[in-house]
Amino acid sequence: MRTPPLWGIGLAESVNPGVGFLHDGRARTLQEAILWNGGEAEIARERYTHLSAEERNALLAFLQSL
Ligand code: HEM
């Protein structure tokens, strides 16, 4: 399994409508993909859950801008 680069992820929907995230496409949204990060990403996932709604939206907007 190859970890997909986040670069260009904001274009995923327009390039491939209905695309899922993670290696098997099971995450329908970026938020699902973040929450389903595990292993070494556990701390990042945990921190995401403690962000305010505003901070989460800022992070999602950043990902969409890549
Ligand atoms: C706030 C921090 C993070 C965000 C926003 C984030 C976001 C994402 C997203 C959106 C994906 C799906 C990419 C795609 O399908 O094209 C992904 C996958 C992945 N991330 Fe993260 N991630 C974070 C932190 C981390 C960290 C710290 C690690 C490891 C040290 C990590 C390891 C991975 C791996 C291995 C995958 C692929 C998993 C799979 O396909 O099942 N992530 N991440």
Predicted local confidence at residue 47, as pLDDT? 97
Q: What is the pTM for the complete model shown?
A: 0.89
pLDDT digit string (tens) for 19-52?
A: 899 989 999 999 999 999 999 999 999 999 999 9
Residue 40 near ligand 1, beta carbon < 6 Å? yes
Predicted local confidence at residue 12, as pLDDT? 86
State the distance from the centre of ligand 1 to the C-alpha of 53, rounded, in angstroms.
20
Compute the distance between CA of residue 49 and CA of residue 56 in angstroms, rounded to an integer: 9
For residue 5, give every residue at least 6 positions away whose Cβ sits within 8 Å of its Cβ, in sequence order, or none.
none
Q: What is the DSSP letter of 63?
A: H
Closest CA to ligand 1's atom 27: 41
Q: Candidates 29, 37, 48: which one to mutate for ligand 1, based on the most atoms within 8 Å of Cβ? A: 37
Residue 8: how many other CB atoms lie within 10 Å: 10
Residue 28 near ligand 1, beta carbon < 6 Å? no
